[in-house]
Amino acid sequence: MPDKKAIASGDSKEKRRGKFPRKQDKANKSKQTKHNTPPNEEPSIMLQVASLATHALRVAAKAGDLSWQVGKSILLTASPENAKMMQETGACLKDLRELAGLTRSELSGALDLSDQSLLEAVENGTATLSFELILRLAAVLARHDPVPFIIRFTRTYNPEIWGVLEKWGIGRIPVHFERERQFINIYRSQDAVRKLSDESFQSVLHFTNAAFEMALHFISQQQSQVNPDIQDKKAKRRSRRRSDS
C-alpha cells in the first residue's frame, strides 16, 4: 500500500506546477512571442523614395509607353534646352567623380555596371540614367548630402517621374529643402563673413533681410501685374463671344 502522505504531497506538487509554470516554460513562451511578432523596423528614407519613385515610373510608363529598364542608355533627340541641361548635369557628374578620385571604370564597378560606356555617354550629355542608377550614384558620390543630388538628376533624366511626384505633392518637399540649402551656400561661399565682428555681421544680416524682402515685394508686384492682364484678356474674349452670339 502506498503511503497516503506521499500521494498527497505528489498531488500538491502537481497543482503547484499547474498554477506556477516553470522558468523554462516562461522562457520558451517569450521566445515564441518574440519570434511571432514582426520586427518594428522602419525602412530608410532612400528605400521609401526608391519604392515611391518606382511606382511613379510605372504610372508614367503606362501613360506614355516608356521603357523603364534599369541601366539602359537612352539616346534622346531633345530640345536645345534639355540637351544643354543634360550636358551641364553630365559635367557635374564628371566633376563629382573626379573630386572623389574615381575613374570611370571604378565608378562603373561601384554601380555594378558591365562596362563604362553608359557612364561615359552620361558625362558627355548623350544618355540618360534610370532612377535606380541615380540612387546608386547618390550613395557613392553624395552620401552626406544625397537629396540635392537626387533632385537635380531626377529632374534632368527622369522628368516623367518628377512630374508624377509633383502631381502627388511630394516633389515640393525636397524642392524647399534644396532652396534652403542654396540660400545657406550663399553664406558659406563668402569667406569674408567669417572675419566680421558681431556688430558687422548684424549689419550685413540687416541689409540682407531688407534686400530679401524688397525682392519678394518686387516679385509679388510683377505677378500681380501679370494676372490682371490675363484676366482682362479673358474678359475681352468673353465679351466678344457674347456680342457675336
- Residue 138 burial by Cβ neighbours in a 10 Å radius (0-12, 13-18, 19+): buried
- Please name the amino acid found at residue 96: L
Q: For domain 45-189, say whether CATH 3.40.50.2300 is its number.
A: no
Residue range 8-27: mean pLDDT, rounded: 50
pLDDT of residue 84: 85
- pLDDT attached to residue 60: 45
Q: Output the furthest CA–CA distance in the chain (Å, rounded).
A: 122
Binned at pLDDT 50, 70 and 90, residue 151 comes out as confident
Residue 47 has pLDDT above 90, yes or no: no
- Find the range with the poorest average confidence among 48-52, 109-113, 235-239: 48-52
Is this prediction's pTM over 0.95?
no
What pLDDT is recorded for position 9? 52
9 or 112, which is more confident?
112
**Reported confidence tier of residue 155, pLDDT bands at 50, 70, 90:** confident
Would you kindly state where each structural domain of the chain is located, as residue ranges? 45-189, 195-229
pLDDT of 197 over the 90 cut: yes
Label residue 211 by pLDDT band (50, 70, 90): very high
Cα angle 74-78-83, degrees, rounded to a multiple of 5: 95
